[in-house]
Structure 1
Amino acid sequence: MGFRVEEEIAAPRGRTAPGNLPPSYLLSAGYDGKLEKAFLRLYEPESQQIYLWYDNTGHLSYAVSKETPEVLRKIERLVNYPDFLTLEQVDKFDALADESIAVTKVVATNPLAIGGRAGGGIRNIIGQSWESRIRYYQNYIYDRGLIPGMPYRVEEGNLVEEEYEIPESIRAEMEPLFADVDPEFREHMMEWARLLQCPVPELRRVAVDIEVYTSVANRIPNPDEAQEPITAVSFVSSDGMKRVILLNDTGEEAMLPEIDGAEVVFYQDERDLVEDVFRVLDEYPIVLTFNGDNFDLRYLKNRARNLAISKDDDPITLGRRFAYLRNGLHIDLYRFFLNKSIQIYAFGNKYRENNLNDVAGAVIGKRKIDVGNINELTFEELARYCLHDAVITYELTSFNDDLTMKLMVILSRISKQTMEDLTRMGVSRWILALMEWEHRQRGWLIPNTDDILRAKGGATTEAVIKGKKYHGAIVRDPKPGVHFGVTVLDFASLYPSAIRNWNLSYETLLCGHPECRENLVPGTPHWVCTKKRGMTSLIIGSLRDLRVMRYKPLAKDVRLTEEERTFYDVVQSALKVFLNASYGVFGAESFPLYCLPLAESTAAVGRYAMTEAVKEAEGLGIDVLYGDTDSVFLAHPTQEQIDALVEWTDRELGIDLDVDKVYRYAIFSKRKKNYLGVYSDGSLDIKGLTGKKRHIPPLLKDAFSRMTQILGEVESPEEMEGAKRKIHGLVESVVRRLRERDFDLDEVAFRVMLGRRLSAYETNPQHVKAAKMLREQGVELDIGDVIRYVITLRGVKPVQMASHRDVDVNKYLDHLESMFAQLLDALDMDFDLLVGRPKQTALGRFFGG
């Protein structure tokens, strides 16, 4: 997690907000280095345009010091610093000390004066400082109490909140639900509901995809050098535009292809093509790409430089890692879908590889068009290929009534982050922004990491997993084998419930009140405050209660319309994303509010809940097959047993237990977190098992896929023996092909992309060894090249230099074993016997012979 980021100084050039602007949604913010002012990007839904509103309150940059103004004025370097402005003494509440203290704001004329200049800045002059590493525009949002994603209006030049109120009909539904909730939580829940219920506007947007000529086959063009011409650019927008721009620099006339109702345009000069693209990027309030930060917009920017296009015509600004636009927002969907919390909790872990093909295939059921050498495509084929990429990029945001866009806006409201930051940052950054915003609204001093460490100390439980700092979640050993009729019960938001119910927060743990020391967290020596509600407990607990009590049930309410259920599912998914990451961040050293006792206590409560629930389940006569973090796997439980267990956990633990999954059958290996579940429709839920990773050779990957297909067809225990015979035949077939070398080299090739230049690798992994061999043969290689290699007796060889006799068959058998052995063991099958390695037990035992 990179929290100490450089200040982004923008030069926006767009429509300035008029003196009076109707309700418009705050999507983005920044700092204009020329005007030395914060600005906001407001989306006005009627005109569907972005307007820039500039701060008119005189807000300035500052750092916080605990020294008095008198002491600070004696620092000559400070008072003589060119951009130093003034000192302001203010009161802040120090939650660690549980007292109000006087601090000094050291005010400067611009953000770079605080700490943006390398090796200098006011924060380096004054010594220890607080709140000096927050981006200026984020600081501006905190100080003004702004909520990204919510509506504001401009009245006589001033920014005014459009105070959305929950409709009376919805309020009437919620108030009885929340009647028994503690008033402190209830107040927060109603405020969260106000943010979540506020309608999300339809956001006008355009998806962009570019194609580039490649002079070397299989090489991804280098976007920083941008030496190759752009051959095609496609646009698909929410207002109906479908457009493909093609470069025809052959000097020959060509027929304009007709493509799926799209407008197709030829340019003979690449410079004209790029300038046309820039006009479109300037026009739309939101531009969507898939990996545009790393490739599309970066390549366009640097190609424009090489073509000597005027900077005034270029709307793209490149940061260290991200690409920005001067008028609108650039949303890189690659980074959004790469977010593990989005992948797992919002989209149910449907995709494993974060490329456009896999994400679109899993989320919207559409994949990229499969083509060979892109340089050999006709104009029509190139146009179709490029347009299709833009189509699926756009549809990743438009499916299910714009679900993805709504998810982004709602997450912005919760996290208090701009859409650009939200879609690029990890969930830990979202939680940090919310916590910082909440500190500022309460008038609390945001502590430094060292403050918390000194006040609260480290862990007291011993880590089970090497490299961890404390004892984490409990995982009950699985019962290996095949089990039919498996029901999986899930603790609804186990860790958020622990944080809520036990009042866990950095300031409430190990508080200074002697009378609280008896209130110990189970399994730890940590005590928790009984006098004050913790900030983390209140924030996370109120979000958790709102999701469990209102939005999750509504997402499944058949009395509602499909559109209403979809909206509520978006909301509950957004809350789930946030909640499920809320505990781990406090145990990460890179998190500024790092508090190991908080993470440790949360895990301890989770372990306690899981252990007690398993005991109760067994007491009810239920066969517990496996327990993993916040889920228990039960064999053939009756509805009465399930109801009794659910009622007990609610009454005794204050945690909701829900039926999460029902498997026709499940296969558990001896290893924890490795199992395969088969749903009633034959679809599979594969956890921890190898075989689906991208780099695995096609011959082995296909064998694993065929094995899972065989298992998916099993309907009853009686059919399992037949499936085992099929698997036996499958393994024998693959082994025979390997031993007889009956394969194409591409079928046994590993495929790994060069993530950096060869000279930049400090280690020598297999794909780098193969790449160096190619280089010695005169092959040019660069970042993005995919290296195909086979394993040989002497190590590895590139496919281009290898022959069938080079392949080390035994190494491939080892890889096959690593993929199959876990499941085969659970099926009471032995890989060694299947491949003909000597064993004392006859093979017939495993197949009833």
Structure 2
Amino acid sequence: MSTSKFEHFSGFVLTKQQFKTQNGFALCYWLATDHGPVRAIVDQQEAVFFILASDLEWATNALADQHIQVRTSILPLKTFQQQIVAALYFRSLTDFYNAKKYLSTHHIRILEGDIRHSERYLMERFIRGSAQVAGNLKRGQSFSTLSSTKMKSCNYLPTLKMLSLDIECSGKGILYSVGLFGQDISLVIMVGEPQDTTQDIQWVNDETQLLLALELAINEYDPDVIIGWNIIDFDFTLLVRRAEQLGIELKLGRAAQKVQLKDSKVGKLLVPGRVVLDGIDTLKNATYQFSSFSLANVAHQLLGESKLIDSDDRLAEIEWQFKHDKLSLAAYNLKDCQLVWDIFEQEKLLDFALLRTQLTGLDIERQGGSVAAFVNLYLPLMHRSGYVAPNLGDHDVHFSSPGGYVMNSEPGLYKNVIVLDFKSLYPSIIRTFLIDPIGLIEGLANPENAVTGYHEAFFSRTEHHLPKLIDHLWQARDEAKAAKDKMRSQAIKIIMNSFYGVLGSTGCRFYDPRLASSITLRGHDIMLKTRAEIERLGFRVIYGDTDSTFVALNDEFDTQLCQQTGRDLERHINDFWQNYCENNDGLTSYLELEFETIYSPFFMPTIRGSVTGSKKRYVGQVEGESGSLLVFKGMETVRSDWTELARQFQQELFERIFAGESVEVYIKQTISDLMAGKLNHLLVYRKRLGQNLSEYVKNIPPHAQAALKFQLDNPDKHFQRGQWIEYILSQSGPIMVSGGPVIPDLEHYLEKQLRPIAESILPTINLTFERFLSGQEEMF
């Protein structure tokens, strides 16, 4: 029989819970450690919220009348309005929630009442995933239990055991099979009669046996992390719902604990002791971008592999295979598991999720959560400055903050253009000009010792946290860059850049438009002064966008001279801002301009039908390791809703013009081939349904029209929101490609695909598209 022994060791928090005990309530943290999973119990806890000290006497008497047990204390804390607060502590979670409800009903202002104690406990100890723990350890066969636990922050990174899970089911949600794939497992649990096969298939009689077999397989394999594709909103949601309908407690958690599913966006799923990580959300958090986040598309883009079923009507094929070819369905099920596993392994997505937790303190599976990450990082620092956090909407300042500065462009074709980018402009503004929620409160109270912001904002020169927090992250990112740790560098960049968005979000308790405006308007001023200084030096600025300045250089400059000019401007502008900040505000400038790119040539188009230069649209040629490369920004080539005809035409047109070659013959031949029907294979539009097909009633877009027509001829075909529709525009309207032979409306493609592209660039080289249509061929 195992006995308890006092021990201390490092672990990484996988999941957390809070629960009632005979003596009040306790916290439970499941930890991954070098010695296996540990269930750490932190007992004798008190939940807390704050009220104004002026309300304390009434609140204490009122709660006593309601038989609610509470301990109170006046603390050296105050609100942003400089009001002293009192803390109310509860040993019972029931008393905590009842007190919140009762006091709110009687219009008592409650502060920080929405922070779960299991999160506050970690937050106040600066524990961000990694924890040094100590207590009485009782070792068990599959996990150990730590009681009387004490925790503090540390640096520890675990090695986690991962399992990929995927289910197959009917259109009505009837379970067919579950696939499991990992380092030492490759298994499909399938409903059906046993068949001879070399595949590892566990045959079961019905859904009930399938769920029980799944429970046994997961508990035996004992993963720390379960991964999948849309795994929370689809796979686990369906598994839990079917288990409920079949009267089964789905005990997939450690210590035979059941899965908990709630109707909420945050913390929807809890599998005690195991992290459930969705591949789609993790990729989005890491700023990956795809035209579609379907497994088929992402696997093709990242792995060069395909799903075993990738038809337009995948569900129908799955249902057919379950009835007639279960071995193929098992192979398909397992292949999906393996694709997800391979994506996670190749892109190191679990490493990214762990790193994000170490940087922000958010749960490993918590997706999005920029506001929550900011609160995690800022709240304990704010408390140490003597403040409690405000509630949403507590400020009384209301106006809209402007976005980033975008200059008017000077359209045209340029031989040499260099781009100068401010490195992490908004974080560097926060760091330089001391922009901070507490800094704003203290600065307004003591403007004589403050930096002037915008809209009558002042920021304390001495009382602030966010600039120091960014300074710490900035140094960590520089270290990551030096170590060529691209993942850590990218993760830190994402977090730093999110701070401006958080301060500008009405969904954040620290929102104040003076904060956001003092960042963006400072950015406007920096961009304008940078442009003025570059032009004072005799250079021509042709465009600027948020943090980037585009400078046209002399056509006679070679690559070496362009590079030298870029480096000289970088050095000069950085010196300019150092001197400006020191001389005007007595501040150290952390603004850092970087010479980023040489475009040679470079084209800035006009707005269609206008002589005014466009914004956020350009084409430039850069020299890479494998030769010249065209970079398209905001043009048809990078838009998924334009045809391959348009993309190829634009690409070829710019390649020829940038190379100084004639385009007349190419344009004429393209028009001739189009009208002769030789390019019909390039005329397909591809667009995703923004809603279910039945929801399109008025102003039905072409791709939905095509799907509706197809459905009339194929009543068994159903389309859902998010599905891609491929169609061709015929003279009778849009027709789906899979609907049979289509005669395209070639005039439409000439006018709506080729003409806009040609007219954006041809005037620059003294040509018009009309000349190619009017029979004036003397130029050839």
Q: Return the TM-score normalized by structure 1.
A: 0.73
* Kept after mapping to 1: 8 A contact 2:53/2:86: yes
Corresponding residue for 1:516? 448
Provide the rounded CA distance (Å) in 2 between the counterparts of 1:503 and 1:92. Answer: 25
* Kept after mapping to 2: 8 A contact 1:246/1:379: no
Equivalent position SS for 2:753 = helix
Equivalent position SS for 1:472 = coil
The structure-2 alpha-carbon separation of the partners of 1:733 and 1:470, relative to structure 1 and needing over 3 Å to count, comes to: farther
Corresponding residue for 2:633? 687
After TM superposition, give the deviation of residue 605 of structure 1 in Å: 1.7
Equivalent position SS for 1:420 = coil
Corresponding residue for 1:493? 424
Corresponding residue for 1:396? 343
Corresponding residue for 1:88? 72
After TM superposition, give the deviation of residue 577 of structure 1 in Å: 0.6
Equivalent position SS for 1:230 = strand
2:655 matched to 1:718?
no
Corresponding residue for 1:51? 38
The structure-2 alpha-carbon separation of the partners of 1:95 and 1:27, relative to structure 1 and needing over 3 Å to count, comes to: same
Provide the rounded CA distance (Å) in 1 between the counterparts of 2:248 and 2:756. Answer: 53
Equivalent position SS for 1:62 = strand
Which of 572, 581, 587 is equivalent to 2:504? 587
After TM superposition, give the deviation of residue 160 of structure 1 in Å: 3.8
In terms of fraction of residues, the more strand-rich structure is 2
Corresponding residue for 2:648? 706
Corresponding residue for 1:387? 334
Task: Provide, for residues 549-600 of structure 1, a one-character-per-residue CA deviation record: whole Å limited to 9, x for no partner.
Answer: x333x14xxxxxxxxx3xx322221210111121122222222211111111
Corresponding residue for 1:200? 157
Equivalent position SS for 1:529 = strand
Task: Provide, for residues 135-178 of structure 1, a one-character-per-residue CA deviation record: whole Å limited to 9, x for no partner.
Answer: 443233334x24122132232334344664xxxxxxxxxxxxxx
Corresponding residue for 2:142? none
Corresponding residue for 1:551? 480
| 1:343-354 correspondence runs (5 A) | 343=287, 347=288, 349=289, 351-354=290-293
Provide the rounded CA distance (Å) in 1 between the counterparts of 2:515 and 2:712. Answer: 54
Corresponding residue for 2:365? 420
Say how many residue pairs are matched.
718
Provide the rounded CA distance (Å) in 2 between the counterparts of 1:794 and 1:80. Answer: 76
Q: Return the TM-score normalized by structure 2.
A: 0.79
2:10 matched to 1:30?
no
Which has the higher relative contact order, 1 or 2, with Cα contacts under 8 A spaced 6 or more apart? Answer: 1
Equivalent position SS for 2:73 = strand
| 1:774-785 correspondence runs (5 A) | 779=716, 781=718, 783-784=720-721
Provide the rounded CA distance (Å) in 2 between the counterparts of 1:474 and 1:28. Answer: 42
The structure-2 alpha-carbon separation of the partners of 1:731 and 1:443, relative to structure 1 and needing over 3 Å to count, comes to: farther
Which of 39, 55, 60 is equivalent to 1:73? 60
After TM superposition, give the deviation of residue 757 of structure 1 in Å: 8.4
AA aligned opposite 1:70: E
2:133 matched to 1:159?
no
Corresponding residue for 1:407? 352
Task: Provide, for residues 247-301 of structure 1, a one-character-per-residue CA deviation record: whole Å limited to 9, x for no partner.
Answer: 363x5x633145xxxx444445444333333334442111111211221222222
* Kept after mapping to 2: 8 A contact 1:246/1:264: yes
Corresponding residue for 2:275? 329
Corresponding residue for 1:127? 108
After TM superposition, give the deviation of residue 500 of structure 1 in Å: 1.0
The structure-2 alpha-carbon separation of the partners of 1:804 and 1:499, relative to structure 1 and needing over 3 Å to count, comes to: same
Query: Which structure 1 segments of 5+ residues have no match?
Result: 1-14, 165-197, 214-220, 460-468, 556-564
After TM superposition, give the deviation of residue 507 of structure 1 in Å: 3.5
Provide the rounded CA distance (Å) in 1 between the counterparts of 2:130 and 2:109. Answer: 36
After TM superposition, give the deviation of residue 34 of structure 1 in Å: 7.9
Query: Which structure 2 segments of 5+ residues have no match?
Result: 137-146, 554-560, 578-588, 607-613
AA aligned opposite 1:334: I
Provide the rounded CA distance (Å) in 2 between the counterparts of 1:835 and 1:639. Answer: 40
AA aligned opposite 2:227: L
Provide the rounded CA distance (Å) in 1 between the counterparts of 2:65 and 2:698. Answer: 49
After TM superposition, give the deviation of residue 652 of structure 1 in Å: 2.8
Provide the rounded CA distance (Å) in 2 between the counterparts of 1:90 and 1:24. Answer: 35
Provide the rounded CA distance (Å) in 1 between the counterparts of 2:21 and 2:732. Answer: 61
After TM superposition, give the deviation of residue 72 of structure 1 in Å: 1.3
* Kept after mapping to 1: 8 A contact 2:251/2:259: no
* Percentage of pairs with the same residue: 17
* Kept after mapping to 1: 8 A contact 2:417/2:551: yes
Equivalent position SS for 2:437 = coil
Worse overlay, 581-590 or 781-790:
781-790
After TM superposition, give the deviation of residue 17 of structure 1 in Å: 10
Question: C-alpha root-mean-square deviation of aligned residues, in Å?
Answer: 4.2
AA aligned opposite 2:43: N
Provide the rounded CA distance (Å) in 1 between the counterparts of 2:424 and 2:203. Answer: 54
After TM superposition, give the deviation of residue 513 of structure 1 in Å: 4.5
The structure-2 alpha-carbon separation of the partners of 1:515 and 1:601, relative to structure 1 and needing over 3 Å to count, comes to: closer
AA aligned opposite 1:520: T
Corresponding residue for 2:119? 138
Task: Provide, for residues 692-721 of structure 1, a one-character-per-residue CA deviation record: whole Å limited to 9, x for no partner.
Answer: 555x3xxx532244346536866x843553
AA aligned opposite 1:85: Q
Corresponding residue for 1:651? 575
| 1:757-796 correspondence runs (5 A) | 758=694, 765-766=700-701, 779=716, 781=718, 783-784=720-721, 786=723, 788=725
The structure-2 alpha-carbon separation of the partners of 1:732 and 1:323, relative to structure 1 and needing over 3 Å to count, comes to: farther
Equivalent position SS for 1:256 = coil
Which of 232, 237, 244 is equivalent to 1:293? 232
Equivalent position SS for 1:71 = helix
AA aligned opposite 2:274: G
* Kept after mapping to 2: 8 A contact 1:61/1:111: no
2:95 matched to 1:109?
no
Equivalent position SS for 2:452 = coil
After TM superposition, give the deviation of residue 633 of structure 1 in Å: 2.8
Corresponding residue for 1:254? 195
* Kept after mapping to 1: 8 A contact 2:531/2:541: yes
The structure-2 alpha-carbon separation of the partners of 1:616 and 1:37, relative to structure 1 and needing over 3 Å to count, comes to: same
| 1:599-748 correspondence runs (5 A) | 599-635=516-552, 638-653=562-577, 654=589, 655-663=591-599, 665-670=601-606, 671-679=614-622, 680=624, 681=626, 682-690=628-636, 692=638, 696=641, 700-707=642-649, 710=652, 717-722=658-663, 725-726=665-666, 729-730=669-670, 733-734=673-674, 737=677, 748=684
Provide the rounded CA distance (Å) in 1 between the counterparts of 2:411 and 2:240. Answer: 56
Provide the rounded CA distance (Å) in 2 between the counterparts of 1:38 and 1:819. Answer: 66
* Kept after mapping to 2: 8 A contact 1:115/1:123: no
Task: Provide, for residues 621-669 of structure 1, a one-character-per-residue CA deviation record: whole Å limited to 9, x for no partner.
Answer: 4443432111223445633322322223332322112233444544322
